[in-house]
Amino acid sequence: MKTTFLRLILPILLLACFTGCDEEEEMIPDGIYIALTWEKCEGLQLGEYNTTVDIPAEGISYSLVCTNAWEDTIWLQSVKIDGQSLTIENDEDKQLPLSVEGEWGKVVCEGKNLHITIAPSNYITERVIEITPTQIGHIYTFTFNQPPVKK
């Protein structure tokens, strides 16, 4: 009796297990994450989950305010230059990755504000700067394409 029950139930369990396992799902925009939303900013056409913008070789600065962030803060999930991840500094009090700086520029999260300064290009090829601020359950990506210095 026990073996008959196991023979009946085992195929059902295996079928449930294998049909319940899908391939890896994209996290955006399937609703697993909610997009951080931003106040309008001159020079940026904000998309739903990301923004890609061409910036001048001379550099540029943006100060953005997140409208759906919690009171505490947004933080930096990643900052990449030409696909290479940079080390992000943790805030001593909150232990969150809030700032990163280099010869390419600077990104700082302060509360609901995101300050981005991109330095003039000294590259001979285009550089791509990708900044991903986040908060639990929320994410957004800014991609800045900066042309090379004209010589």
* Dist CA 44 CA 65 (whole Å): 13
pTM of model > 0.85 = no
What is the mean pLDDT of the segment spanning 14-23?
44
- DSSP assignment of 27-95 equals SSSSSSSEEP-B---TT----SSEEEEE--TT-EEEEEEBSS--SS--EEEEEEETTEEPPPEEPTTT-
Token digits for 150? 């004209």
List of domains in the chain: 34-146 (2.60.40.10)
Mean pLDDT of the chain: 82
Q: What is the mean pLDDT of residues 31-48?
A: 87
